[in-house]
Structure 1
Amino acid sequence: MKTKKQILMLLLAMLAGIPTLSAQTKKEKKEQKKEAVRQLIVSENYKIDVNTAMPMRGRNITLSSPYSLEIRNDSVFSYLPYYGRAYSVPYGGGSGLIFNAPLKEYTMDLDKKGNAVIKFSARSPEDFFEFSAKVFSNGTASIDVIMQNRQSISYRGELDTENKK
């Protein structure tokens, strides 16, 4: 009878300890994700996969196709859809936010929480773009784009931590 009681107490103690072990692993995973995000952003070689477009007018648009904004060394590779009012565009609508161009005035600041604020500008044959992106420590991102010939637009997405180059 005494051994059954001891076994029961041991099982209860083990069951009480399991949630604290899983909480530690969750915290460790969160810290690992935060560090991976920081390293990617600092390397200036990353890709943000976009899943929502937010035009100035109208509703948010959930994107079903793969759209992205990629920074590689000193260039930007923008493959983003555009929804909104255009003031001056080439005949046929132009290519909008689908372009490759060299980066200008690239700045990146990290805050205390591990969030990165990235600002840069780029020029395509059609327009001049000012990008402002915020990448949070959990990998989610928001992108704001201001253009000369079109209305501003914002995007939400996630940093691609899987395909490290």
Structure 2
Amino acid sequence: MKRIIFILAIALLMMGCASTQNAATTQAEIEQKINEQRYTFVAQSVVPTEDSRFNPRLMFPQGNNLYQLTSRYDLKVTPDSVTAYLPFFGRAFTAPLDPTKGGIQFTSTKFTYKKNIRKNNFHITILPQDVSEIQSIYLTISPSGYGSVQITSTNRTPISYHGIIETP
């Protein structure tokens, strides 16, 4: 019986070491992909700047301004393009001409990309130059792969997303 407990303890210890090694590999992969500008931010929740109790047209519970997303929405970053497919909850000052173009959807091929590291987090600023409605995109990415995105638009109120970073 003591031998079985000892073997189980060794096995659990080895699995713990393996998961620590996998976490380090993940952190190295994330850092490499951020440096290469090849990653995808997958939004899991959204935080509009306006509270829903001030806008009765929004069909969300009053007083709660963090909404979990049930579909896949993302922001893909590559060295030659930034592609966004994200939902929008908030106030839009102009309506889109095409009703299928709701949310924040764009592809930018001309943009500036600046990366800083502060307190072990990556702070990335993307300024699209060929998409007139998007002023700036700010990403904050932790070494473990969690991140947030803030988008400032010319025709809409600012909005934030929280999610994870996927590396292809």
* Bin for the TM-score computed over the shorter chain: 0.7 to 0.9
Residue matched to 1:158: 164
Instruction: Select the residue among 102, 114, 122 that pairs with 2:109.
Output: 102
Instruction: Select the residue among 106, 109, 128 that pairs with 1:122.
Output: 128
Aligned-partner residue type, residue 25 of structure 1: A
Residue matched to 2:28: 35
RMSD: 2.4
SS class of match (2:149): strand
Distance 2:39 2:142 in 1: 14
**What is the TM-score with the length of structure 2 in the denominator?**
0.78
Distance 1:119 1:76 in 2: 12
SS class of match (1:53): strand
**Alignment gaps of 5+ in structure 1:** 1-7
Distance 2:2 2:132 in 1: 73
Distance 2:50 2:80 in 1: 32
**Alignment gaps of 5+ in structure 2:** 52-64
Distance 2:4 2:104 in 1: 60
2:142 counterpart of 1:136: yes
Distance 2:96 2:85 in 1: 18
**Aligned partners of 1:143 and 1:154 also within 8 Å:** yes
Cα gap change, 1:17 to 1:125, in 2 (>3 Å): closer
Q: After alignment, is 104-113 or 36-45 more displaced?
A: 104-113
* Structure 1 residue 46: Cα displacement: 1.3
Aligned-partner residue type, residue 129 of structure 1: Q
Which one has a bigger Cα radius of gyration? Answer: 1
User: What is the percentage of aligned positions where both structures have the same residue?
Assistant: 23
Cα gap change, 1:117 to 1:125, in 2 (>3 Å): closer
SS class of match (1:17): helix
**Aligned partners of 1:130 and 1:147 also within 8 Å:** yes
